[in-house]
Chain A
Amino acid sequence: MMDEHIQYGVTEDYFDAVLASDGIAVRMSDNVAHVLTQLVARLIRFLETGEVHEERRGPLRRARSADKVLRHMFPEAYRDRAEAHSFRERHAPALRDSAAPRRVYARCATGAEYVIDHAEVDDWLVTLGLARFLVLPRDAATHDMTVAWLNHMQVSLISTVNPQLANLVATHAPRTRTIRRS
């Protein structure tokens, strides 16, 4: 039975990125900063030790193994399984390099508002891009709220760095149908 005291409200969470004279000014709600920091810490742990901390979501859903998360994060690079395996082994140090997430984590520890320089943006794109796989498998049909936030942060940073990108992308977006009432 549903708890009648549960209240559903509009979230006050936000993440903004704007161009500043010395880089990109980023600000986010305390809750977003907290969730991001926790997730980046999990990503660093996963890349460095292979440890997955995943809670079971519901009685029928099993926690994913580290190997499964790794395969979603770094998919088969070749059609041939042996070649794909060899690729993953050959490039493991580069794929699992935690330097970028560590720099992002250090930045997150300073609060919920800061200026990141242009060279740092790529660290954020790597970190946000990989952190999603700790939350959701690549082929998931469902949409997770945390993944939606991570995607929003990625696109906000990219749009700030490349303001003309939004217009170019809009020309390739699927057209919406207008329904007219007669």
Chain B
Amino acid sequence: MWRVVIHNDQLNSLAVVAHLLHTLCAMALPDAVQLAAMVHYRTSAEVAEFPSQGEAEQLVVAFQRHGLDASVRHG
């Protein structure tokens, strides 16, 4: 599986990360906030997984376009 990871940074607030998880991953708002908090307190968190590399990369592009630090992991 191809996993998308968001990394904590000095720039993005919990609200911004939660909003983007809500809109880009179609996540329910309470779940998005919980996952954003995980990114904030654990320095990174896996937020989605895909069977194809292309789909995972599309989401990383969308996150990076909004100023988030996102990457792909395989395995």
Contacts and interface: CB of A to CB of B under 8 A. Distances in A.
Contacts of B30: 168
What DSSP secondary structure best describes chain A's contact surface? helix
B17 to A, nearest CB: 10
Given A74-B64, A76-B71, A169-B14, A138 B9 contact: yes
B43 interface: no
Nearest to A155: B15
Interface range, B side: 20 to 34
Interface stretch (A10-18, A25-33, A109-117, A127-135): A127-135
B67 A95 contact: no
Contacts, number: 100
Given A91-B57, A155-B13, A130 B65 contact: yes
Interface residues of A, number: 42
B19 A77 contact: no
Nearest to A136: B11
Q: Of residues B20, B61, B64, B73, which shows the largest number of chain A Cβ atoms within 10 Å of its Cβ?
A: B64
A132 B7 CA distance: 17
B61 A94 contact: yes
A108 to B, nearest CB: 18
The 7 closest A-B pairs by CB, nearest first: A129-B67, A172-B37, A168-B33, A158-B19, A129-B66, A77-B71, A91-B61
